[in-house]
Chains A and B, each alone.
Chain A
Amino acid sequence: MRYLPHTREDIEQMLQVVGAADLDALFSSIPDDCRRKNEMNLPEPLTEWELNGHMDHLAAGMGASPACKVFMGAGSYSHYIPEISRQLLLRSEVFTAYTPYQPEISQGTLQTIFEYQTLVCRLLGMDVANASMYDGASGLAEALLMTIRISRRRKVAVSRAVHPLYRKVVETYFTPGDFEVVELPVGSDGRTDLSGLKDLGELAGVALQSPNFFGCIEDLEAAGKKIHEDRKTLFVTAFTEPLAYGLLKNPGVCGADIVCGEGQSFGIPQSFGGPGLGMFAARQPYVRAMPGRLVGKTVDRDGKTGFVLTLATREQHIRREKATSNICSNQGLCATASTMYMAAMGGTGIRELSRLNRDRAEYLKASLAGAGYASAFTAPTFNEFVVRFPEGFSDTWQALLKKKIVAGLHLAPWYPELSDCWLMCVTETIDKNDIDGLVKEVTR
């Protein structure tokens, strides 16, 4: 086996040094009743070439872009990934390194994370960002737990327009503790209805997503003011599409205290839902209550600038049961990918790309409206929106799969009240021709 370097002679010499008769003798400390009796029943090892064939075969039937036109976002977005990012990530000093616990030989990772933290802060308008969480959903759960730690209250409110799967993860994280999660309703415009907020009592935090699950841009500024009428309540904003902040007012400007979301859009392959990137940022006063790793700037013995992991007294390897979170491994390489992507886009590029995403989505929205399929909500949207289709569209949708078109996401399983609605998404990988093609198919 090419990953195992041991020759028969090596093994013999080493056993001699160890003083063991054979390989089995190395395991003498394992009692007999703990030994495995049978051999593992695994497939015959594949050669490199057989493995290629096997994986190509499995991948062949997948409805992945660009072979398939997928008008579906809902937390996972198809964006172009520049070749430089793929190749730079394969620099093996980057991807075969461990967590930078030894800073002298990890400065590449550390400076990259420092740059990542900075760019995320600039994107979201926040003071401090951590080195990443697992994904947008677990990030939101941790953000809400953080509001409980800070406010010492026990109840949080989450908008019904937050991604349903994120809400499910929040519920899971909250089940064993005696904390409460209440749901905020959605208004007819597709935005969160905060009119009942006052009746909910003392809230640790209130979470909105913008653009929300329906693609609607929330009025975060107004929401922030309303939520902060109770000065102890923290305003948490989530996102699934960070590209929106190339164009939209950032959450920091709108008064958010904690911002968290999924960064997959920034140079990370969709990869059937993971690995993605939990972006997580907060205002300065809350830094010591944050979960996750942080990189800080410092100097070495000669006064030269360098970077280290810092404020580790929040973390599990120092604090154990008193840590702010149990997170250890994070999504480091994905954070690195997104840093490369943000660097390649630049401020000018992200603005243009963000606009193009919205404009193409607006083009589809207008084309469908022109054909008689109206949007379900009136609030402005970014690159996703909800359309109401007439009865029988499910059949059309099924039929389109055979033509390698996924015409949006049916909302029935997620929102029974929107059972005739589909969530549509357009990014820069879907062009005008594709859009015209879709409209032609659904109006056929």
Chain B
Amino acid sequence: MKEKMGTTGLIFNEPLLWEKGSPGRKGLSLPRRDVAEAPLDDALTGDGPDFPDLSELDVVRHFTRLSQWNFGVDSGMYPLGSCTMKYNPRTNERQASIPGFANAHPLLPPSLCQGALALMYDLQGYLAEITGMPAVTLQPAAGAHGELTGMLIFAAYHKHKGKVRTRVLIPDTAHGTNPASATLCGFTAVPVKSGADGVLRPESVAELMDEDTAGIMVTNPNTLGLFEKNIRQVAGIVHEKGGLIYCDGANMNAIMGLVNIGDIGVDVLHLNLHKTFSTPHGGGGPGAGPVCVTRELEPFLPTPRVVKEGNSYRLDEDGPLSVGKVHAFFGNFGILLRACCYILSMGNHLKQASQYAVLNANYIKESLKGHYHLPYDQPCMHECVFTDKLQQEHHVATLDIAKRLMDHGFHPPTIYFPLVVSGAIMIEPTETESKETLDQFIDAMKQIAREARQCPDCLHESPQFPKVRRLDETAAARKPCLRG
């Protein structure tokens, strides 16, 4: 297809909910009243919330129109680096909506929730097999929640060893959640500069590592899309001083079946099921951030834990060394279920998924080299990072390139991250995109590079096709209007 993917079509304006409706309308079928009204003290009774009254069709049309202003993975390629926007299989939505799961109360007695416990037990086993880390908790509700759990484990472990440690080393390429999670657990985040080749230098870690340092948080592959090849030496240095290695597994999609995390010196790892294991991002969540640990650290995992006895499953609340609980119940069960279904559908094809994810990223990297500046010219893993250096001379910046991609029908990549690369454009295609789609994306990127030379203003004025044009974020922050 030579035509641009992006085009215009009829979409609708739609007011805010409370600008619609009329008092007395209903959009919900209320159950029949079959008992008498019970009086309640006036002092406790309120007026009820000022919600608009809408009919069922009012509601349906409202949210249908709003949905049409959005771009999702089902709309088109979503090469958002570090976010692994792969296809979200439809069958997983079917499975999560089976009434036996969807309508299950979390405090059901074990005899009435064997299916859910079995699923969680199986998923723990699959994640242990995929990562090579023997013990797993499914409780954290997101990646950052998993990091928090990991840092709680760091703190509990050192306390148990008899010495409270105060610092955690974090490479400068890390996601912002890493230092924030460490801080939330009372640690001081100490930045480590990565080397000229974009990966951690063991010497830099050795300089900073001491017996007051709880350990290091490493993202591997890192946010430059590079494998931290010195991880084993780094682990040796940190372990030598009694510290622990945390691995942020946000980028696990590159290495399933290829690297055994348990073998490379990692003590604690979190996974993002909403990235690697295909569960939908839902416009911001919910996700799930299981944490996998070594046998030595298993006693510190949150409770309760699912255990199997004979052919039945139960929840074990016992855990004298456990960090406690990070979620009221067992985490985002509905997301765990979807991820489990994905693993059951894929089996060992997961290794192929990683291979193709890496193939796709390298294909884009090689195809766009020369058209865009590539700060680390070496084989990448599942994502590649370009910059706007070549376009800067025409006064075109990363932001303009990103916005122009929308007009071409693509979601922009992650931009201005990692922070160590000025004007970063971080592209993660994922394995579910076909070669044809990648070729269209590459063509669009090349065309934008041409436009940057020939018509920079076309880029400054983009996007043209979406419902709104560039929005004034400064005004939004200066005088916040956060509700209607």
Whether, in the assembled complex, B372 has its beta carbon less than 8 Å from a beta carbon of chain A, the answer is no
Structural contact, B30 and A352, CB atoms closer than 8 A: yes
Considering only residues 410-457 of chain B, those with a C-beta below 8 Å from chain A are 411-412, 417, 431-435
* Contact among A28, A82, A349, A380 for B41, CB-based, below 8 A: A380
Q: Are A270 and B283 also in contact (CB < 8 A) when A42-B126, A169-B325, A298-B475 are?
A: no
Whether, in the assembled complex, A76 has its beta carbon less than 8 Å from a beta carbon of chain B, the answer is yes
Which segment, of A47-55, A150-158, A201-209, A229-237, faces chain B? A47-55
**How close is B375's CB to chain A, nearest CB, in angstroms?**
16
Structural contact, A17 and B367, CB atoms closer than 8 A: yes
Which segment, of B141-149, B202-210, B385-393, faces chain A? B141-149
Structural contact, A35 and B259, CB atoms closer than 8 A: yes
Structural contact, A34 and B141, CB atoms closer than 8 A: no
C-beta contact mask, A264-278 vs B, less than 8 Å → 1, else 0? 000001111111100
Structural contact, B107 and A299, CB atoms closer than 8 A: no
Whether, in the assembled complex, A223 has its beta carbon less than 8 Å from a beta carbon of chain B, the answer is no
Which segment, of A182-190, A192-200, A306-314, A368-376, faces chain B? A306-314
Structural contact, B346 and A293, CB atoms closer than 8 A: no
Structural contact, B334 and A275, CB atoms closer than 8 A: yes
Q: Are A58 and B144 also in contact (CB < 8 A) when A5-B433, A92-B72 are?
A: no
Determine the chain A residues whose CB is within 8 A of the CB of B59 once the complex forms: 84, 88, 340, 343-344
Whether, in the assembled complex, A300 has its beta carbon less than 8 Å from a beta carbon of chain B, the answer is yes
Whether, in the assembled complex, A280 has its beta carbon less than 8 Å from a beta carbon of chain B, the answer is no
**CA gap between A102 and B467 in the complex, in Å:** 12
* Contact among A253, A270, A330 for B106, CB-based, below 8 A: A270
Point out which of A86, A247, A269 has the most chain B C-beta atoms below 10 A from its C-beta.
A269
**CA gap between A31 and B227 in the complex, in Å:** 9
* Contact among A76, A98, A270 for B83, CB-based, below 8 A: A98
**How close is A289's CB to chain B, nearest CB, in angstroms?**
14
* Contact among B56, B344, B359 for A46, CB-based, below 8 A: B344
Structural contact, B355 and A329, CB atoms closer than 8 A: no
Structural contact, B359 and A11, CB atoms closer than 8 A: yes
Point out which of B43, B83, B180 has the most chain A C-beta atoms below 10 A from its C-beta.
B180
**How close is B405's CB to chain A, nearest CB, in angstroms?**
9
Structural contact, B113 and A63, CB atoms closer than 8 A: yes
Which residue of the partner chain B has the closest CB to A73? B105
Whether, in the assembled complex, A406 has its beta carbon less than 8 Å from a beta carbon of chain B, the answer is yes
Which residue of the partner chain B has the closest CB to A68? B112
**How close is B468's CB to chain A, nearest CB, in angstroms?**
4
Q: Are A168 and B411 also in contact (CB < 8 A) when A121-B483, A269-B102 are?
A: no
Which residue of the partner chain A has the closest CB to B102? A269
Whether, in the assembled complex, B163 has its beta carbon less than 8 Å from a beta carbon of chain A, the answer is no
* Contact among A57, A145, A300, A339 for B471, CB-based, below 8 A: A300
C-beta contact mask, A35-76 vs B, less than 8 Å → 1, else 0? 111011111111010011011111111111111101010111
Determine the chain B residues whose CB is within 8 A of the CB of A327 once the complex forms: 142, 144-145
Determine the chain A residues whose CB is within 8 A of the CB of B63 once the complex forms: 88, 91, 94, 112, 340, 343
* Contact among A300, A332, A428 for B283, CB-based, below 8 A: A332
* Contact among B35, B51, B119 for A345, CB-based, below 8 A: B51
**How close is A217's CB to chain B, nearest CB, in angstroms?**
5
**CA gap between A99 and B341 in the complex, in Å:** 24
Structural contact, B177 and A93, CB atoms closer than 8 A: no
Which residue of the partner chain A has the closest CB to B286? A275
Determine the chain B residues whose CB is within 8 A of the CB of A96 once the complex forms: 72-75, 88, 280-281
Whether, in the assembled complex, A123 has its beta carbon less than 8 Å from a beta carbon of chain B, the answer is yes
**CA gap between A192 and B103 in the complex, in Å:** 32
Determine the chain A residues whose CB is within 8 A of the CB of B155 once the complex forms: 175-176
Determine the chain A residues whose CB is within 8 A of the CB of B21 once the complex forms: 346
Determine the chain A residues whose CB is within 8 A of the CB of B36 once the complex forms: 359, 363
Which segment, of B92-100, B238-246, B290-298, faces chain A? B92-100
Structural contact, B107 and A76, CB atoms closer than 8 A: yes
**CA gap between A78 and B28 in the complex, in Å:** 16
Determine the chain B residues whose CB is within 8 A of the CB of A432 once the complex forms: 34-35
* Contact among A52, A91, A248, A347 for B67, CB-based, below 8 A: A91
Structural contact, B328 and A360, CB atoms closer than 8 A: no
Which residue of the partner chain A has the closest CB to B42? A249
**How close is A11's CB to chain B, nearest CB, in angstroms?**
7
Q: Are A34 and B463 also in contact (CB < 8 A) when A42-B130, A169-B327, A270-B102 are?
A: no
C-beta contact mask, B269-308 vs A, less than 8 Å → 1, else 0? 0001010001011111111000000000000001000000
* Contact among A41, A178, A330, A380 for B40, CB-based, below 8 A: A380
**How close is A269's CB to chain B, nearest CB, in angstroms?**
4
Considering only residues 227-257 of chain B, those with a C-beta below 8 Å from chain A are 227, 229, 231-232, 255-257
**How close is B446's CB to chain A, nearest CB, in angstroms?**
14
Whether, in the assembled complex, A21 has its beta carbon less than 8 Å from a beta carbon of chain B, the answer is no
Q: Are A248 and B359 also in contact (CB < 8 A) when A17-B367, A329-B274 are?
A: no
Determine the chain B residues whose CB is within 8 A of the CB of A41 once the complex forms: 129
Structural contact, B142 and A166, CB atoms closer than 8 A: no
Whether, in the assembled complex, B45 has its beta carbon less than 8 Å from a beta carbon of chain A, the answer is yes
Structural contact, A310 and B480, CB atoms closer than 8 A: yes
Determine the chain A residues whose CB is within 8 A of the CB of B381 once the complex forms: 29
Whether, in the assembled complex, B193 has its beta carbon less than 8 Å from a beta carbon of chain A, the answer is no
C-beta contact mask, B28-65 vs A, less than 8 Å → 1, else 0? 11111111111011011110111111101011101110
Determine the chain A residues whose CB is within 8 A of the CB of B184 once the complex forms: 145, 173, 325-326
**CA gap between A99 and B417 in the complex, in Å:** 15
Which residue of the partner chain A has the closest CB to B431? A4
**CA gap between A123 and B455 in the complex, in Å:** 51
Whether, in the assembled complex, A104 has its beta carbon less than 8 Å from a beta carbon of chain B, the answer is yes
Structural contact, B51 and A342, CB atoms closer than 8 A: yes
**How close is A363's CB to chain B, nearest CB, in angstroms?**
4
Structural contact, A26 and B180, CB atoms closer than 8 A: no
Structural contact, B101 and A34, CB atoms closer than 8 A: no
Structural contact, B284 and A431, CB atoms closer than 8 A: no
Structural contact, A271 and B469, CB atoms closer than 8 A: no
C-beta contact mask, A353-385 vs B, less than 8 Å → 1, else 0? 111101110110000000000000000100000
Determine the chain A residues whose CB is within 8 A of the CB of B394 once the complex forms: none
Whether, in the assembled complex, A437 has its beta carbon less than 8 Å from a beta carbon of chain B, the answer is no
Determine the chain A residues whose CB is within 8 A of the CB of B23 once the complex forms: 347-348
Structural contact, A61 and B70, CB atoms closer than 8 A: no
Which residue of the partner chain B has the closest CB to A252? B46
Q: Are A274 and B476 also in contact (CB < 8 A) when A1-B346, A30-B229, A92-B74 are?
A: no
**CA gap between A428 and B29 in the complex, in Å:** 11
Structural contact, A273 and B106, CB atoms closer than 8 A: yes
Structural contact, A353 and B260, CB atoms closer than 8 A: no
Whether, in the assembled complex, A419 has its beta carbon less than 8 Å from a beta carbon of chain B, the answer is no
Structural contact, A76 and B106, CB atoms closer than 8 A: yes
* Contact among A36, A51, A253 for B258, CB-based, below 8 A: A36
A-B contacts, 24 of them at CB < 8 A, read: A4-B349, A6-B356, A6-B435, A45-B346, A58-B100, A62-B113, A98-B80, A100-B283, A108-B68, A121-B483, A123-B51, A245-B46, A262-B328, A269-B102, A271-B334, A323-B180, A326-B147, A336-B283, A339-B17, A343-B51, A346-B25, A351-B48, A359-B33, A380-B40
* Top 4 closest pairs, chain A to chain B, by CB: A273-B329, A63-B112, A333-B282, A59-B100
